[in-house]
């Protein structure tokens, strides 16, 4: 049996041991907290608390790598290797080692390290970018497409990568791989396609890409097709734009196509060229009122000055004689002149092919028509526009409501 004094000593030792353990645990927690806090902003301070902190080691290695002197590069390698010992296959450390190897001209070693880093951390941009560049150089388009997808899922770098897509578009195998990737409908597709169309580096390659996508399981949506058609029209490829738009239409609409597409507003507006374009403008509200028989285009004015010409329709009418018809109604439409429809060749917007009568005041539903002719030259496309033909600012003052229905264009014999 142990005496009371012996038991007391043992008890005190246990209490002391527990206190030491608690103090050590508190120190570890404090060291981790401080090192985590300073790992990115001041990695040297972080390492003074935890000499094996992988994030601090990587950030300090990156700083030394950027310094660029031979001694700094050697230290960067040493720090990166310490980070890997602390956290095996740490992707950032692998990327730093890969970058240094690339700078030293050791492409084989750099590619191996960067490939390992990209596999280990798909969301790390640097190794993915390296793998992407090397794969494009080697014409390994499938691998390049995979790296491209990984990069764009991490960050919106469409502006940086879209110039490099010329490598895909200029090679049949590359076009096929890029189409396959885009057909999977990744979340970044809209942004990349928009940037491609704005840059307009390879029109024929883009045309092939659009054609292949539209023939696949996920054709371009209206918001993706709009910048492409607008660019085609801007550079004068009207026929190509129109044919691309026609291919976008569902078969049932294509079979019922008229000179004025969607003239009765029977389809949801796409705001694509060759459909109605309705742009917002302060002081006016444009909407469609769908009824049992007809859908009515309504434009309401709030009584302010509005340079209104914000409802239009691009047409591609061959040379010949035509008649534009419809119905109109006005409710307390107060304006010095009134509203009208006007048709003109896009090559010469100041010269009208035809104009409807001006409408103002209170007008019950009534039919209207205007005959016009499309000339044989300098009129590849036409614009039909609803406008307030104000000659001075005072004539832009307008209030009330005007409505249109059953719009159509027919060929005259």
Residue 30 belongs to some domain of the structure: no
Sign of CA dihedral 307, 311, 315, 319: negative
- Which domain does 237 fall in, by range? 43-255
pTM confidence score: 0.71
Is residue 160 in some structural domain?
A: yes
CATH number, residue 288: 2.60.120.260
Of 248, 212, 253, 252, give the one whose Cα is nearest residue 229. 248
Same domain as 293, residue 160: no
d(CA 401, CA 361): 9
Are 297 and 251 part of one and the same domain? Answer: no
- Please indicate, yes or no, whether residues 122 and 244 belong to a single structural domain of this protein: yes
pLDDT tens, 339-360? 999 999 999 999 999 999 999 9
**Residue 214 belongs to some domain of the structure:** yes
pLDDT at residue 258, as a whole number? 93
Domain assignment present for 324? yes
In a shared domain, residues 231 and 146: yes
Contact yes or no for 159/195 (Cβ under 8 A): yes
Instruction: Verify that 49 and 151 share a domain, yes or no.
Output: yes
Same domain, 201 and 56: yes
The predicted pLDDT at position 334 comes to 95
End-to-end CA distance of the chain: 126
Token digits for 89? 């296959």
- Indicate if 312 and 189 belong to the same structural domain: no
Closest by alpha carbon to 153, among 109, 105, 192, 209? Answer: 192
Q: Which domain CATH number covers 148? A: 1.25.40.10
Among the candidates 188, 222, 255, a domain finishes at 255
Q: Does 319 fall in a domain?
A: yes
* Measured distance CA(60)–CA(37) in Å, rounded: 14
Residue 7 covered by a domain: no
Q: In sequence order, which ranges of 68-124 are alpha helices (DSSP H)? A: 70-86, 91-103, 107-120
251-260 long-range Cβ contacts below 8 angstroms, 24+ apart:
258/408, 258/409, 259/315, 259/317, 259/322, 259/408, 259/409, 259/410, 259/411, 260/313, 260/315, 260/324, 260/384, 260/407, 260/408, 260/409
Looking at 255, 285, 315, the residue that finishes a domain is: 255
Distance from C-alpha of 364 to C-alpha of 345, rounded to nearest angstrom: 31
Q: What is the 3-state secondary structure (H, E, C) of 366-396?
A: EEEEEEEEECCCCCCCEEEEEECCCCCHHHH
Q: Sheet harboring 382-387: ordered strands across?
A: 276-278, 311-315, 382-387, 340-345, 352-355
Residues 127 and 159 in one domain: yes
Q: Is-contact 57 86, C-beta < 8 A?
A: yes
Is 404 inside a domain boundary? yes
- Is residue 166 within 8 A of residue 202, CB to CB? The reply is yes
Determine the Cα–Cα distance for residues 83 and 74; give it in Å rounded to an integer.
14
Query: Are both 206 and 283 inside the same structural domain?
Result: no
Structural domain count, the chain: 2
Choose one of 187, 220, 255: the last residue of a domain. 255
Quick check: is 357 in a domain? yes
42: which residues sit within 8 A by CB, 6+ positions away?
A: none
15 CB-side CA count, 13 A = 6
Report the Cα 64 to chain-centroid distance in Å: 37
Same domain? 228 vs 88: yes
User: 180 and 220, same structural domain?
Assistant: yes
Q: List Cα–Cα distances, 12 to 20, 23, 126, in angstroms.
A: 12, 16, 57
The Cα–Cα gap between 383 and 27 comes to: 77
Distance in angstroms (rounded) separating the CA atoms of residues 57 and 47: 7
Q: Clarify whether residues 61 and 205 are in a common domain.
A: yes
Q: What DSSP line would sit under 147-186, residue for residue?
A: HHHHHHHHS--HHHHGGGGHHHHTSHHHHHHHHHHHHT--
Q: Which helix (H) or strand (E) holds 39?
A: none
Which residues of the chain register pLDDT less than 70?
Answer: 1-62, 64-91, 93-102, 110
């Amino acid at each position: 049996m142990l005496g009371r004094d012996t038991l007391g000593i043992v008890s005190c030792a246990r209490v002391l041991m527990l206190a030491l353990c608690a103090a050590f645990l508190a120190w570890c927690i404090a060291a981790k907290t401080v090192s985590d806090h300073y790992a990115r902003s001041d990695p040297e301070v972080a390492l003074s608390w935890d000499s094996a902190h992988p994030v601090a080691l990587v950030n300090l290695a990156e700083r030394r790598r950027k310094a660029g002197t031979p001694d700094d590069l050697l230290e960067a390698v040493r720090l990166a290797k310490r980070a890997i010992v602390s956290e095996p296959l740490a992707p950032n450390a692998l990327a730093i080692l890969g970058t240094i190897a690339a700078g030293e001209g050791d492409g084989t070693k750099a590619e191996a390290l960067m490939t390992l880093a990209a596999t280990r951390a798909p969301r790390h941009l640097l190794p993915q970018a390296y793998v992407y560049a090397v794969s494009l150089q080697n014409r390994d388009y499938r691998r390049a497409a995979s790296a491209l997808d990984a990069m764009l899922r991490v960050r919106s770098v469409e502006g940086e990568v879209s110039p490099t897509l010329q490598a895909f578009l200029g090679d049949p195998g590359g076009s096929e791989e890029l189409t396959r990737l885009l057909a999977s409908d990744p979340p970044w597709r809209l942004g990349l396609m928009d940037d491609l169309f704005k840059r307009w580096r390879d029109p024929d390659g883009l045309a092939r890409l659009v054609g292949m996508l539209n023939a696949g399981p996920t054709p371009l949506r209206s918001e993706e097709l709009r910048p492409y058609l607008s660019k085609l029209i801007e550079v004068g490829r009207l026929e190509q734009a129109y044919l691309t738009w026609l291919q976008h239409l569902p078969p049932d609409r294509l079979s019922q196509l008229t000179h004025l597409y969607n003239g009765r507003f029977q389809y949801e507006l796409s705001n694509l060229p060759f459909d109605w374009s309705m742009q917002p403008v302060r002081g006016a509200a444009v909407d469609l009122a769908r009824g049992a028989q007809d859908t009515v285009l309504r434009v309401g004015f709030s009584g302010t000055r509005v340079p209104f010409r914000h409802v239009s329709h691009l047409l591609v009418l061959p040379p010949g004689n035509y008649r534009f018809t419809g119905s109109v109604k006005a409710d307390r439409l107060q304006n010095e002149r009134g509203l009208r429809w006007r048709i003109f060749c896009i090559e010469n917007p100041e010269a009208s092919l035809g104009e409807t009568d001006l409408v103002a005041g209170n007008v019950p539903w009534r039919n209207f028509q205007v005959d016009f002719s499309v000339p044989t030259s300098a009129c590849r496309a036409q614009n039909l526009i609803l406008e307030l033909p104000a000659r001075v600012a005072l004539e832009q003052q307008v209030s009330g409501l005007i409505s249109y229905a059953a719009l159509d264009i027919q060929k005259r014999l």
